[in-house]
Amino acid sequence: MTIDSLNESTAVIETRLAHGVHRVATTLLAEAAVRPSVPLSALAQLRDFLVVNLRHHHETEDDDLWPRIVAAAPATAHELGALTEEHERLDAALDRLAATNLGHGEGPTSEGIRAALHDAAVAVRDTVHDHLTHEEPILFPALRDHISPAEWKDFAQRVISTTPPVAGHLMVGFLDEVGTPAEVELVLAGLPEPVHPLLPAMRTQAADDLKILRGTGS
């Protein structure tokens, strides 16, 4: 399947892949949290990746993307405002996840730590999955109909330039799982040029870390 055959704009493709990453990553953290073979350090890395990226994603929507859409289509304001309210509920779940103390090492409290992380991760997973089912039927048509390629390029570059550098290799690994090679190439083309030579090493590191999280590697 090629990008052209999808009949989707670049904005829809890139957003769909970002949402796919959020679905897969939140599901993985909830599952990995109670897997005894997964080191707490690996769980902490995935947790921190999720908290940072989910917050940044919805903040850039609320503060930058929504105003662009509303400027072009004022009738979307009410629906986008409802999505912002859901983002606020997600923030509460992310606060709880971020506050989960993962400790240091695998001491006698490990089981309790994992249970607390699992509960917080499930809350984030369920909130994210429910939110995306509400958001996508609104957002995808709005991106297609009201955001020009030039405006999306400007927005996407702003997002990339302000994304906190937390476990960025995991983003590359998750993108490879949720997108076709052509789609992933489209997304990664927007990265700063100095990052491109690092992508093979990032993919290798991501593959290793994801195997550990899934209990299929050491």
3-12, 45-54, 155-164: segment of lowest average pLDDT: 3-12
Mean of pLDDT values over 133-149? 94
Please give the mean pLDDT across all residues of the chain. Answer: 90
Question: Which is higher by pLDDT, 28 or 106?
Answer: 28
What distance in Å separates the CA atoms of residue 183 and residue 34, rounded to the nearest whole number? 33
Alpha helices per DSSP H over 179-216 = 181-188, 199-213
- In this structure, the chain runs to a length of 218
The predicted structure's pLDDT at residue 183? 94
Mean of pLDDT values over 102-119? 76
Q: 3-class DSSP state for residue 9?
A: coil
Q: Model pTM? A: 0.90
Is the model's pLDDT at 107 over the cut of 80? no
- How close are the terminal C-alpha atoms of the chain, in Å? 34
> Which residues, including other chains, have CB under 8 Å from residue 47's CB and lie 6 or more apart?
29, 97, 98, 100, 102, 117, 121
DSSP-derived secondary structure for 30-62: HHHTT-TTS-HHHHHHHHHHHHHHHHHHHHHII
pLDDT tier for residue 109 given thresholds of 50, 70 and 90: low
Q: 3-class DSSP state for residue 168?
A: helix
